[in-house]
Amino acid sequence: MEAPAPIASQPAPNQCLDTGFLTPESLTTTDMAALRACGLSQRKAEYLTGLARLFSDGVLTNEGIQGMDDATLTMELTKVRGLGQWSVHMFAMFHLGHPDILPVGDLGVRKGMQWLYGLKDLPAPETMEGVAAAWKPYRSVGSHYMWSAAASAPRSPNKKKAQSPAKRKKAAAAGELDGEKPT
């Protein structure tokens, strides 16, 4: 199973840039308009060039990142503007191949766990950690199963939207109750 697919209407950055020659140094000198033309927002383009600058300046190195344990990797990379825990988890899981990543902020993993374990609500991070403790040291594999479970879960029928008090009052005055007209 692969990471969630990008939005199809936007070209992937590797389709716009010459990835054969894509280096941190070349990214720091790439025109912002070229990055925007690849479908990146202004903010994401800024984050990407900022991250590239950290590599080109030697603050971050491939060797250093590959040698970090998961906790250190998360702590260090979330210091980078634009990188949150979810991004670091996906990077560790899909690029570095770390086998014990549990992305507690990923909606697909949360929905899969909710459905598979019969939980009434989406699980909180603490609940997820408790459930997934038995999966160690292969929580990345468990996460893949949760994505698959979320994709396979039956969809619930559309629930009626809750009405605001004003709409409810108006519906009652019109002889309707919860959107149903009396016969």
pLDDT digits (tens, 9 = 90+) for 33-66: 989 998 999 999 999 999 999 999 999 999 999 9
Element (H, E) at 126: helix 125-132
Q: How far apart are the first and last CA of the chain?
A: 52
Asked whether the whole model's pTM tops 0.75, one would answer no
Burial class of residue 13 in the structure, from the number of CB atoms within 10 Å of its CB (0-12 exposed, 13-18 middle, 19+ buried): buried
Every domain of the chain and the residues it spans: 7-60
* Residues 124-150 pLDDT 10s: 999 999 999 999 999 999 999 999 999
Q: What is the DSSP string of 55-108?
A: HHTTSS-HHHHHTS-HHHHHHHHTTSTT--HHHHHHHHHHTS--S----TT-HH
